[in-house]
């Protein structure tokens, strides 16, 4: 069984390629997190939101990451962080070509 962590928060930029330049070190750090399988970075300049969809191998890893990441974002001045953890139904996800 694998687990998805969905995170979003208010964000004022940078967006696109400037975001890549600003966040590459953070992305490399996230890649080393225990239990992480992958992350999809999300951004919506029109609504002023960013975040990510993460796949973790187990719930404790997802919970630990969410706790740490929420604290890190608060240190960056982001006061409202939405985070939810879901179990992945792998059989149905495979039918729809999900990366499991």
Instruction: Indicate the CATH number for domain 3-95.
Output: 3.30.70.100
Question: What per-residue confidence (pLDDT) applies to 80?
Answer: 94
Domain layout of the chain by residue ranges: 3-95
Give the integer Cα–Cα distance in Å for 21 and 19: 5
Nearest to 35, CA basis, from 52, 11, 58: 58
If one counts every other C-beta atom within 10 angstroms of the C-beta of residue 17, the result is 8
Question: What per-residue confidence (pLDDT) applies to 100?
Answer: 86
- The answer to whether the peptide bond before residue 14 is cis (omega within 30 degrees of 0) is yes
pLDDT tens track for 27-86: 999 999 999 999 999 999 999 999 999 999 999 999 999 999 999 999 999 989 999 999
In 2-93, DSSP assigns E strands to: 3-10, 36-44, 49-56, 82-87
Confidence label for 18 from pLDDT (cuts 50, 70 and 90): very high
């Amino acid at each position: 069984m694998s687990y998805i962590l969905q995170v979003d928060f208010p964000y004022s930029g940078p967006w696109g390629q400037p975001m890549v330049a600003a966040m590459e070190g953070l992305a490399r750090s996230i890649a080393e997190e225990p239990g992480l399988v992958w992350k999809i970075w999300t951004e919506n300049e029109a609504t002023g939101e960013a975040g990510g969809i993460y796949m973790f191998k187990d719930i404790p890893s997802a919970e630990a990451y969410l706790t740490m990441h929420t604290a890190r974002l608060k240190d960056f001045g982001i006061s409202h962080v939405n985070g939810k953890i879901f179990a992945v139904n792998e059989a149905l996800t495979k039918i729809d070509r999900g990366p499991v």
